[in-house]
Structure 1
Amino acid sequence: MTANKTSTISIVLAYLVVYFVWGSTYFFIEKALHSFPPFVLGSIRFIIAGSLLMGYCALRGYKLFNKRDVKRAALIGFLLLFIDMAAVIWAEQYISSGIVSILGAAAAIWFILLDKPKWKANFGSLPIVLGLLLGFTGVVMLFGEQIFNADVNNGDGKNIIAMIVMTVGTIGWTVGSLYTKYTQDKKDPVEEEKKEKPLNVIVKTAWQMVTAGVAFTTVALATGEYSSFHIEKVPLHDWGALAYLITMGSILAFSCYIWLLQVRPATEVSTYAYVNPIVALILAHFFTEHLVTELQVFGLIIILFSVLLMNWNLYKNNRTFRVLRARKKIKRLKYMAPKSSIPRIVEVADFDEREKKKNQAKIDENNC
């Protein structure tokens, strides 16, 4: 009983971290940009986070190098962490962290459009097509506001460029995610012959962060950001924002995310995509000078609803939802059935659970 409680508490805490810490990273990026140039910020964040994670893996005794896995991790790190995060960081110089988070949530649109092997299934599903159209509507609304609303348009067009850059970044994230999806299960005949053991997922993540850090550093050096950056002028609170991004955003939140994927259904874990932009928008409204308009809130609602529709088939078939539907059906049968039959309905409803307990008891008895 205590173990189950601890497990439940751990799961809840992990969800809180993934929901709220990841959602808050948009806000802390905006704060850190007061002192750090965008590519310097990415450079320091991912070099330190990747090094710390790699050090942790070394202490745990994990294998750190495998040519095939490192090459793949480097490409994924470039697409997911460099292209996407560079877009996020650069865009937040000119548009609200709340707007950036909403555009990030709209990445589901690109998953539908770019996942070619799934085109037939996706475009043959009415909820997905409706979600796609709604998602585009929400994005167009946000672009329209930035163009025509004088309260949020600064007049130099950089806000529009920032939104385009952010959109390109989400496409990079999508391409990297799809590459991961379609290559992780492929087996290399040469490696099969060598029987080389794949790297631990945390080691791969460390390599992704190191790759992103190297890419950010290269750009920061090439553009002169490092030469014009004065480390001694950075105030303590901006160092605090950077430390939060490294420890809480890159290490803790991602570790919780990976752990949740191992103990909970992926469709359930993916619900962070609905909470993160809400957290970011609330923080932008109360703790920044950016104006959060009714149109932005409405656009967020439309985009989140579109994401729900685009993932409807996954959620519909999720184990948790099936259990809830089954319980609801049993409850309805209990009220419809004669009282004498209710014990039998309850007995049938609990049969699978009791069978599992019996089988587990037999296994425990045999082990003893």
Structure 2
Amino acid sequence: MNKTSGSRFWLVLAFVAVYFVWGTTYLANLYALKAIPPFIISALRYLVAGLLLAALAAGKNQVFPSGKECRDLAVSGILMLVGGSGLVVVAEQYITSGSAAVIVATEPLWFVLLDHSRWKLYFNDKKIIVGLLIGFFGIVLFAQFEPNDTHHQTQSTDQLLGTAIVLAGAVLWVCGTLFASRRIKPGRYTLWHTTIQLLAAGLFATFIALVNGEWTGFVWQAVPLPAWGGLAFLIVFGSLIAYLAFGWLVTVQPPAIVSTHTYINPLIAVLIGWLVAGEQVSGLQVVGLAVVLTGVLLTQLSKSRAEG
């Protein structure tokens, strides 16, 4: 295998990881939630992944970031991994894994709304504004037409709560990403950067779980094998393989190309949730999903042209 084909091989594997692995982590959350409280899931996921990655980084003798960089990495890690991904786990107590993934797909829309320094550039483009409106209308449509059951009133309340929690998580993920992009110098990425983010997030999630009383009633021996399997999948595939693949891709591919995982992840999550977990998806929800992805796609394409 020559150098060019070898690079292409790793590029394909990295995209497979961010496309399909991240799309299946929503289902893994459901399995872990069967017996493990949400913030304990995040704590164990990030601490174990961070420690494994620290051993790898130490073995490679990579340069450790400065104190200021460590602080900024810790802040961005907490915002993205506890506030972002962690709240998705909390929300999946109330909504399906597919619903959570569809709502997370609005992150590119939040990038436009929260990147204040580029508002003049973005909002001079009518297509971006239309894309934002279409995307958020799709979310309302998707949440509105959750399949009914005999506990419709309770389900509607849970759907609203879960949707709000995931939206908050999406906002925090974007805030963490923007914070990191402005504080951490590009071109200096090492495994230590991701390690610090993971460990900081793990420690913060541990603290939240303690405050919430999650550790008090948690019995390790009572956790069944499927729940441990879900957690193991999140650690190995979600926080190590896919997260590292994403970190590498943004250094070798244009951001607009890497961000295409936003369109694929919800499709994978909805499909896997339906096939494996038996999550129901109504016809109007499929329409809502299409509307969300249309809005995101229109916004992303217009945003890329504006920045170019």
TM-score greater than 0.5 by the shorter chain: yes
- Confirm whether residue 162 of structure 1 aligns to residue 162 of structure 2: yes
After TM superposition, give the deviation of residue 74 of structure 1 in Å: 1.0
**1:143/1:160 contact within 8 Å kept:** yes
Secondary structure of residue in 2 paired with 1:311? helix
**C-alpha spacing 1:152/1:300, structure 2 compared with 1 (3 Å):** farther
After TM superposition, give the deviation of residue 236 of structure 1 in Å: 1.8
Choose which of 202, 214, 217 in structure 1 pairs with 2:206: 217
Choose which of 284, 291, 303 in structure 1 pairs with 2:292: 303
**1:115/1:178 contact within 8 Å kept:** yes
Map 1:29-40 → 2, pairs under 5 A: 29-40=29-40
Q: Give the TM-score normalised by structure 2.
A: 0.93
One-letter amino acid of the counterpart of residue 133, structure 2: L
**C-alpha spacing 1:43/1:152, structure 2 compared with 1 (3 Å):** farther
Query: Which whole-Å CA distance do the structure 2 matches of 1:61 and 1:17 have between them?
Result: 26
**2:121/2:306 contact within 8 Å kept:** no
Match of 1:120 in 2: 120
Match of 2:140 in 1: 140
Secondary structure of residue in 1 paired with 2:153? coil
What RMSD, in angstroms, separates the aligned Cα atoms of the two structures?
2.1
After TM superposition, give the deviation of residue 54 of structure 1 in Å: 1.4
Choose which of 196, 215, 219 in structure 2 pairs with 1:226: 215
Secondary structure of residue in 2 paired with 1:301? helix
Map 1:15-94 → 2, pairs under 5 A: 15-94=15-94
Match of 1:332 in 2: none
User: Can you list the C-alpha shifts for 1:304-340, whole angstroms capped at 9, x where unaligned?
Assistant: 1111111113555899xxxxxxxxxxxxxxxxxxxxx
After TM superposition, give the deviation of residue 154 of structure 1 in Å: 4.4
Query: Which whole-Å CA distance do the structure 2 matches of 1:116 and 1:178 have between them?
Result: 10
After TM superposition, give the deviation of residue 9 of structure 1 in Å: 1.9
**2:139/2:288 contact within 8 Å kept:** yes
Query: Which whole-Å CA distance do the structure 2 matches of 1:152 and 1:142 have between them?
Result: 20
One-letter amino acid of the counterpart of residue 110, structure 2: W
**1:267/1:315 contact within 8 Å kept:** yes
Query: Which whole-Å CA distance do the structure 1 matches of 2:17 and 2:238 have between them?
Result: 9
Choose which of 248, 259, 262 in structure 1 pairs with 2:237: 248
**2:62/2:190 contact within 8 Å kept:** no
**1:134/1:306 contact within 8 Å kept:** yes
Match of 2:176 in 1: 176
One-letter amino acid of the counterpart of residue 277, structure 1: P
**1:284/1:292 contact within 8 Å kept:** no
- Confirm whether residue 277 of structure 1 aligns to residue 275 of structure 2: no
Bigger radius of gyration, 1 or 2? 1
Secondary structure of residue in 1 paired with 2:145? helix
**C-alpha spacing 1:164/1:153, structure 2 compared with 1 (3 Å):** farther
User: Can you list the C-alpha shifts for 1:253-283, whole angstroms capped at 9, x where unaligned?
Assistant: 1122222223322211111111111100001
- Confirm whether residue 12 of structure 1 aligns to residue 1 of structure 2: no
One-letter amino acid of the counterpart of residue 202, structure 1: L
**1:110/1:174 contact within 8 Å kept:** yes
Higher relative contact order (CA 8 A, sep 6+): 2
Secondary structure of residue in 2 paired with 1:155? helix
**1:97/1:281 contact within 8 Å kept:** yes
Identity %: 33
Query: Which whole-Å CA distance do the structure 2 matches of 1:271 and 1:12 have between them?
Result: 14
**1:267/1:314 contact within 8 Å kept:** no
User: Can you list the C-alpha shifts for 1:182-223, whole angstroms capped at 9, x where unaligned?
Assistant: 23359xxxxxxxxxxx96442121111111111111111122
Secondary structure of residue in 1 paired with 2:36? coil
Q: Give the TM-score normalised by structure 1.
A: 0.78
Map 1:257-272 → 2, pairs under 5 A: 257-272=246-261
**1:267/1:318 contact within 8 Å kept:** no
One-letter amino acid of the counterpart of residue 153, structure 2: G
One-letter amino acid of the counterpart of residue 136, structure 1: F
Query: Which whole-Å CA distance do the structure 2 matches of 1:125 and 1:314 have between them?
Result: 8
After TM superposition, give the deviation of residue 153 of structure 1 in Å: 6.4
Secondary structure of residue in 1 paired with 2:93? coil
Q: What is the number of equivalent residue pairs in this alignment?
A: 306
**1:57/1:64 contact within 8 Å kept:** no
One-letter amino acid of the counterpart of residue 304, structure 1: L
Query: Which whole-Å CA distance do the structure 1 matches of 2:125 and 2:197 have between them?
Result: 34
Structure 1: runs of 5+ lacking an equivalent: 187-197, 320-368
After TM superposition, give the deviation of residue 109 of structure 1 in Å: 2.0
